[in-house]
Structure 1
Amino acid sequence: MSFSFSLASNGAANAARSALDNTTEQLTNEARQLASGLRINSAADDPSGLAISQSLVARVNGFERARGNVQSAADAVNVADGALASVTDILTRIRTLAVEASSSIESTGDRANLQAEVSQLLLEIDRISQSVNFNGQPLLDGSHAGFVPAVAASVTVQANSVLATNAGPPGSNFGDLVANVQTIPAYQRPIYYNAVTQNVPASTAPQTVTVGSTVGLLPGDTLVPAGYNGPAIQVLGVNAATDSITAIFPQALSNGAQIRNDVNGSLANAVTPGENVVSITGTAQPLYVGQQLQLPFPPNPEVVTVQQVLGPTTFVADFTYAHSAGDYIGSSHFDGIAGGSGPGAYTITYGTVSNPSPPGQQVDIIDAGNFPAGVYIGTVLSYTSTSYTLSLPTAFPSGAYALAPVGNGTVSNTYDGSIKLQVVNTGVSIAVQESFYNTATQQQATSATLLAPGSTSALFDGVSITLGSFTSADLGSTAYVKALQATAAQENPEAPALELLAGASEGETVALSLPAVTTQQLRVATISLVAGAGSDPTLAAEDAIGQSDFAIQSVLAERAGLGAFSVRLREDESNDALAALNLQASVSSIRDLQVGAATTRFTQTRIEEQVGTAVLAQANALPETFLALFR
Structure 2
Amino acid sequence: MRINHNISALNTYRMLTLNNTAVAKSLEKLSSGLRINRAADDAAGLAISEKMRAQIRGLEQAQRNAQDAISLIQTAEGALNETHSILQRMRELAIQSANATNTDDDRKALQDEIKQLISEIDRIGETTEFNTMKLLNGTLSGNQVGGVGSKLGDATAAYILVDDFNPGSSVTSGISQNVQVIVDGVTFNLTGVTGEDQFQWFQSLQTKLYAAIDAYNAANPNAPVVKPTFEIKDVQSQTSMDFVITSGTKGSKFQIEIRLLDDPSNTSAPAATDLVAELINNNNWTAGSDGQLSATAADAVTKLNDTDKLKMVVNGYTIEVMLNTVGEGTYNAGDDMTQLASDLETDINAALANYKDLTGVDFGTVTVSVKDGALVVESSNPDTVTIQFGVYDVSNALGLAGTGTAVTGGLNFHIGANKGQTLNLQLNDMRAAALNVADVDISTADGAQNAIAKLDSALKKVSEERAKLGAIQNRLEHTINNLGTAAENLTAAESRIRDVDMAKEMMEFTKMNILAQAATAMLAQANQTPQGVLQLLR
TM-score, normalising length: structure 2 = 0.56
Which aligned pairs between 1:359-398 and structure 2 lie closer than 5 A?
A: none
Q: Distance in 1 between matches of 2:127 and 2:182?
A: 61
2:233 corresponds to which residue?
339
Q: Cα offset for 1:596?
A: 2.0
Unpaired runs of 5+ residues, structure 2, are 146-176, 193-206, 235-240, 257-274, 276-286, 295-332, 336-402
Question: Any idea what the Cα deviations from partners look like across 1:557-596, whole Å, max 9, x if unmatched?
Answer: 2111111111111111122222222222222222222222
Q: Is the counterpart of residue 135 in structure 1 residue 131 in structure 2? A: yes
1:38-187 alignment, distance < 5 Å:
38-146=34-142
Structure 2 CA distance for partners of 1:363 and 1:496, relative to 1, 3 Å: same
Match of 1:617 among 515, 524, 531: 524
Q: CA deviation at 1:522?
A: 2.0
Q: CA separation of 1:136/1:359 partners in 2, compared to 1, >3 Å: closer, same or farther? A: farther
- Equivalent residue, structure 2, for 1:33: 29
2:98 aligned partner, one-letter code: S
Structure 1 Cα separation of the partners of residues 443 and 291 of structure 2: 47
TM-score of the pair, normalised by structure 1: 0.48
2:487 is aligned to: 580
The alignment status of 1:566 with 2:460, answered yes or no, reads no
Please give the per-residue CA displacement for 1:262-312, whole angstroms capped at 9, x wherever unaligned. Answer: 8xxxxxxxxxxxxxxxxxxxxxx97999999xxxxxxxxxxxxxxxxxxxx
Matches within 5 A, 1:530-609: 530=443, 537-538=445-446, 540-609=447-516
1:522 corresponds to: 435
Identity %: 30
**Secondary structure in 1 aligned to 2:37?**
coil
User: Per the alignment, in what secondary structure is the counterpart of residue 339 of structure 1?
Assistant: strand
Matched, 1:240 2:199: no
How far is 1:30 from its partner?
A: 1.0
Match of 1:353 in 2: none
SS at 2:481 equivalent:
helix
Seen in structure 2, the aligned counterparts of structure 1 residues 6 and 345 have a Cα distance that, compared at 3 Å, is farther
Check whether the contact 2:231–2:244 (CA below 8 A) recurs between aligned residues.
no
The structure whose Rg is larger is 1
Q: Secondary structure of the equivalent of 1:44?
A: helix
Q: Which protein is richer in helix relative to its size? A: 2
Residue 343 of structure 1 deviates from its aligned partner by: 7.9
Q: Distance in 2 between matches of 1:571 and 1:122?
A: 37
Letter in 1 for 2:233: G
Maintained 8 Å contact 2:233/2:243: no
Cα deviations across residues 210-238 of structure 1 (Å, max 9, x unaligned)? 998876699xxxxxxxxxxxxxxxxxxx9
One-letter code of the match for 1:32?
A: E
Q: What secondary structure sits across from 2:423 in the alignment?
A: strand
Whole-Å separation in 2 of the counterparts to 1:257 and 1:605: 102
Paired residue for 2:261?
none
Is the Cα–Cα contact under 8 Å of residues 179 and 190 in structure 2 kept in the other structure?
no
Residue 214 of structure 1 contacts residue 243 of structure 1 at CA under 8 Å; is this kept in 2?
no
What amino acid maps onto 2:5 in structure 1?
S
Letter in 1 for 2:434: Q
Q: SS at the partner of 2:40?
A: coil
Question: 1:593 is paired with a residue of what secondary structure?
Answer: coil
User: In structure 2, what residue type is equivalent to 1:511?
Assistant: N
Letter in 2 for 1:513: Q
For the residue of structure 2 that corresponds to 1:523, the secondary structure is coil
State the one-letter code of the partner of 2:188: A
Aligned AA for 1:240?
Answer: F
Distance 1:620 1:345 in 2: 114
Distance in 1, Cα, partners of 2:210 & 2:7? 126
Go from structure 1 to structure 2 and tell me whether the alpha carbon gap of 1:345 and 1:16 turns closer, same or farther (over 3 Å shift).
farther
- SS of match in other structure, 2:531: helix
Structure 1: 4+ residue segments shifted above 4 A: 210-218, 255-262, 285-292, 332-338, 341-346, 356-364, 376-383, 489-493
Select which of 380, 394, 409 maps to 1:496. 409
Q: Does the 8 Å CA contact 1:358/1:382 hold for their aligned counterparts?
A: no
Aligned pairs for 1:413-452 within 5 A: none
SS at 1:525's partner residue? coil
Instruction: Give the CA deviation at 1:75.
Output: 0.5
Aligned length: 355
Per the TM alignment, residue 627 of structure 1 is displaced from its structure 2 partner at its CA by: 3.0
Distance 1:581 1:380 in 2: 52
Tell me which of 9, 13, 16 is aligned to 2:12. 16
Amino acid at match of 1:62: G
8 Å CA contact 1:211–1:243 kept in 2: the answer is yes
Partner SS for 1:140: coil
The question of whether the paired residues in 2 share the 8 Å contact of 1:94 and 1:118 is answered with yes
Relative contact order (C-alpha < 8 Å, sep 6+): which is higher?
2
| Residue type at the aligned position of 2:103 | S
Kindly indicate whether the alpha-carbon contact (under 8 Å) linking 1:216 and 1:377 is maintained by their aligned counterparts in 2: no
Q: CA deviation at 1:141?
A: 1.6
Counterparts of 1:134 and 1:615 in 2: how far apart (Å)? 74
Displacement of 1:123 after TM fit?
Answer: 2.4
Letter in 2 for 1:54: E
**Aligned AA for 2:484?**
A
**CA separation of 1:345 and 1:570: change in aligned 2, threshold 3 A:** farther
CA distance in 2, matches of 1:54, 1:42: 12
Measure the CA separation in 2 of the matches of 1:136 and 1:360. 53
Assess, with a 3 A threshold, how the Cα gap between structure 1 residues 357 and 137 changes in structure 2: closer, same or farther. farther
The one-character-per-residue Cα deviations of 1:353-390 (angstroms, maximum 9, x if unpaired) are xxx998769999xxxxxxxx9xx99989999xxxxxxx
Give the superposition deviation at 1:56: 1.5
Q: Is the 8 A contact 1:40 1:591 kept in 2?
A: yes
Query: Residues 63 and 503 of structure 1 are in contact (CA less than 8 Å); yes or no, is this contact kept in structure 2?
Result: yes
